[in-house]
Structure 1
């Protein structure tokens, strides 16, 4: 907790490594994709370097074990690619652009951006959080 600012110590449990290793319980609002008569799109397969392949295998293995991802029998999938992290590690990115194109959009009112930004008018301190390697 030395690195974590004292003003936020009350929220320290939010960043628990033990909790981050477990899948949260399912809720009534779990996300699903409504494709309205469309089939999921077939994505291209990007070529991967040896380091990227190893990172992908490790990710799949670890997240299957944790229950964060499940085996799929879908005939389609989304392409993956990697970005570089500041520490020279790799950040897995999944390209869901084609899936987003065929997914029915939820209709709900969203305040205009300028109205949302006024919430931060009186703020002077902001900090960035890398939520578990994101």
Structure 2
């Protein structure tokens, strides 16, 4: 069965009749020659649905600022301090905690 292909690319309707083709047209010719089809021109503006789908939505790009944040946790210092206090309460030597200062 022969299919009808509607396109808004006007030169495609004459692609099978042209003697010389540029590279872009050759690619189309190679693709379409595998099918039994008739190509008819249909202006893009007349085909509202396809025209709307083929248009990309143009959004203004958002500006993004680089940001860095350093989070310092006092957890390690609080643990070491609590350990020192616990050792003082036990009246044990605090030599084992040397070098653990933050």
The answer, yes or no, to whether TM exceeds 0.5 is no
TM-score, normalising length: structure 1: 0.17
Instruction: Name the structure with the higher helix share.
Output: 2
Larger Rg: 2
